[in-house]
Each structure stands twice: as structure tokens, then as C-alpha cells.
Amino acid sequence: MKTNWQYWIASITDNCDNQCPGCYRVLQDSLCRQNGNMAIEDFEKILDMFVGQGGISIDFVGGEPTLHPQFLELVSSCVSAGIDIWIYTNLRQFGQNKELARRLLEIGGEKVIVVGKLNVPDPNNPAQAEFQAGLIGADKEAVREMWQGLNNLLAAGFPKGNIGVENLLRKANIELAPKVYEAGLQKGFFVDLEIPTCPVSGGEDALKKWFDLFPYRPQIINCIEAVEKINQKYGIPAYTAIMPHLTGRNSEGVGSGCVAFKQGALLTEADGRVGLCTSGQPLLNENGRQLNLLNDPLEKIFSHPDLLARRAACEQKNIVSGPCATCELWQYCLGGCAALREAVGRLFGSYPVCYLHDWTEFKEM
């Protein structure tokens, strides 16, 4: 059976040495400190399935993927399979072990892109280091490690554009975001300024907690305008920021939204269980058990009504109302975040918080 399973988001470990307050795994209380690793045999079984379905790219997530004891072996398996590799990391292991960056480059070369975390432009500044520590639920030594890790990756010699950071923008840190973006231009790493896209669970209480973190619309507009001024300063062509990414990864700097999650991606947990994405609905069978790639046939997973609905909701022709139905930029963001639209019960409606349009009132959601 052929499917559109092009992207695999692989949570290879439940272990993490940070406790970021806004992390979906922290909010779900699903992290641990040890023994939460995916078996390499299970990983290779799923990798074979993925390659057989025409897979082209894998995201290593967690937990903290570099804490998996066979992390480099897993990367090597993916390189041998010929697929692109994205590694989402808190950078601390790269700071503790300078050789890790060199070994990763040696094994993966241009096939590997590393995306770290950074929310402040100068972690050497004591006040900024303290602020960063609060955002990752750790201490200032952890901040020193993540900053050193980023510098070690840059020094290792990865191809230009293969090292970057993700900066999740909240009310508390969005004012610093343009300076982080400029720091990346100066030091040679890309910066993905991303709006946190979705509550980690359904219900009104979860939605309210999410909105407590979500930047105000004027903050988002001000951030975009500040980035535009920086781009002018560095001779970068003007572009329209696309929610939920205010900066992007392509040559023009255009953000492309959570495309992988919506165009043929699956998330697998360390034990093989399947979900639509990190914040979306798990795929449950008729008895309420979460489907598992190691135990359930691919036909059952890819014919699941929730998966089919997610795929259908990422075609503009199926959006029934609101600005997304006619927006010329739809092909870049595919409606912002499908998981948010699931959470508010409007999978086939418009993205309710795009800065280009009036936001939907909370009571209407």
C-alpha cells in the first residue's frame, strides 16, 4: 500500500535534562529521566516501513534526542537509507561534548540539519541568562551549555544553513525575538521565529492557558516590522511572514508553516504509538487504544478517519468559511496549525489567530 507518508517525526526518547514550562511533553507530564529510549530494533523496523512508503525526511525529537544512548547509530541508519535528517535539540549535549558535533558531521554531512533552542540574543549577559534559564526550566549552567553547544556546532564546519535555532514566541519573550534573529545573521545560524501553535489538550481550560502564553496581535505585528528592518539592513529581500512561522528556512526567508505535520507526516512515540503531531489527536482504534506502528497494519493507520480528515483539512478547497478559504498565501501555511483547528472544533474552518486578519473572539472558539 502506497501512502503520502513523506515525513516521520520520531520521538526517540522520553528523557530530557530540561523542563521547559511551555513544552507539550512537560505539560503532559510525559517526560522521564531514564529508560525512556526507543529500542534500536524498533526504530529500524519503522524506518524500513517509512522508506518503503517513499519517505524523504525524518525529524528527531524527544525528550532530548541526543540523550538516546545510540543516537549516532540511529542517525547513521537514516543516512544509509538516503533520507534527510532534522535534529531538534536543546543543544546541551553538544556543549558538554565538543566531539559530538564533529562526529555528527562526519556521519551525516549535508544530510543533517540541527535545530536548537534560543530565546535571548546574548546568553553571556547575566540577566538574559537568568531569563533563558526560566524559559527552559533549568539553571544558568544549562544556558551556558546550550550556548556552547551552538558555538561548537558552528565551529564543526556544517554546510551553511544546516545549523539554526527555533525560538518559540510568547508574550514574555517576543520583544527579544528580533535581536535573536539578528544574532543569527551575524553568527551564521538561521533563526525560526515560531508562534506556539496549539494547546496540548482539548477543552476550554487548556485553550485559556494557551492564550495566556500566546502573544498579542500587536506584539506579533511589531515583531514582524522589526525583522523587516533588520532584513533591509542586511540586504535580505522583503517577504510576507506566514503564520505560525514569522521567519523561515528557504532562500527567500519565507516561513512555510507546519507543512510536514500536514503533508504526509506521522509522529511516533518511543514505543511505536502513533499521533498526527506533537499537539494533535492521537490515533485511537475503535476500543480507544492508541494505534502502534509496531503492532497495527499500515492499512489500518492510513485509513483512520482522523488521519483522512487531517489530510483533507489541509486542502484549501475544503475550507468552508473565513479568510483562509480565499487567502492567496494558503499554499505556504496550509491554514496555520491544523492541531489548533482540531482543538477548537473547526478542522475545516479558518485559522483563528492569523495576524493578517481579525482574530476570532475567544468566546466564539
- pLDDT for the residue 343: 82
Q: How many domains does the chain have?
A: 1
- pLDDT for the residue 253: 47
319 in a structural domain: no
- pLDDT for the residue 258: 64
Q: Which residues contact 285 (CB under 8 A, 6 or more apart)?
A: 291, 296, 300
Is the Cα dihedral 272, 86, 114, 248 positive or negative?
negative
87 in a structural domain: yes
73 in a structural domain: yes
Q: Spell out the per-residue pLDDT of the chain, length 365, in tens.
A: 567 799 999 999 999 998 887 777 767 776 675 678 999 999 999 999 999 999 999 999 988 999 999 999 999 999 999 999 999 999 999 999 999 999 999 999 999 999 999 999 999 999 999 999 999 999 999 999 999 999 999 999 999 889 999 999 999 999 999 999 999 999 999 999 998 777 766 677 878 888 888 999 999 999 999 999 999 999 988 888 888 888 865 545 445 556 777 778 899 999 999 988 877 678 999 999 999 999 999 999 999 999 999 989 989 999 998 999 999 989 888 888 888 888 888 899 999 999 999 888 877 77
Q: Report how far apart, in Å, the C-alpha atoms of 347 and of each of 11, 24, 55, 201 are.
A: 25, 20, 26, 15
279 in a structural domain: no
From the list 332, 329, 364, the residue with the least C-alpha distance to 349 is: 364
What is the model's pTM? 0.94
356 in a structural domain: no
Q: 19: domain CATH number?
A: 3.20.20.70
Domain that includes residue 75, residue range: 7-262
Residue 60: alpha-carbon gap to chain centroid: 10
Helices (H) and strands (E) in the chain, counts: 15, 8
283 in a structural domain: no
273 in a structural domain: no
Question: Cell numbers of 5, please?
Answer: 507518508
339 in a structural domain: no
